[in-house]
């Protein structure tokens, strides 16, 4: 399980395009939990591919990207409050 957070500068149209591409890339691997925060459950090869794709999208001089590895079991490391529409990755996923 990865937690991905990013801050992309949107002062220019190029920055707004980068923001959309970063979000789309993250959506291909996981679920949005806040505007610029995603939870992704991936294996090692997918993590490397995801990281490479994100690094190709961001401008390292203007944007920031953080990838946190969440140690399992999740029930010991995550507390949730409020209206949460999370996907249960342990159940059957229908795409």
Nearest to 50 by CA among 77, 70, 30, 78: 30
Give the tens place of pLDDT for each residue, 36-59.
999 999 999 999 999 999 999 999
Q: What are the sequence ranges of the domains in the chain?
A: 2-72
| Angle, CA 66 vertex, CA 54 and CA 94 arms, to 5° | 60
Cβ contact 10:19 at 8 Å = yes
Residues of the chain with pLDDT under 70: 74-75, 78-95
CATH assignment, 2-72: 3.30.70.240
pTM of the model: 0.77
């Amino acid at each position: 399980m990865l937690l991905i957070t990013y801050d992309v500068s949107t002062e220019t149209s190029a920055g707004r395009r980068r923001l959309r591409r970063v979000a789309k890339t993250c959506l291909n691997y996981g679920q949005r939990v806040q505007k610029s925060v995603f939870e992704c459950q991936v294996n090692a090869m997918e993590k490397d591919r995801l990281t490479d794709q994100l690094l190709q999208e961001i401008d390292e001089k203007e944007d920031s990207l953080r990838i946190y590895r969440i140690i399992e079991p999740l029930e010991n490391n995550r507390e949730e409050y409020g209206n949460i529409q999370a996907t249960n990755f342990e159940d059957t996923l229908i795409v």
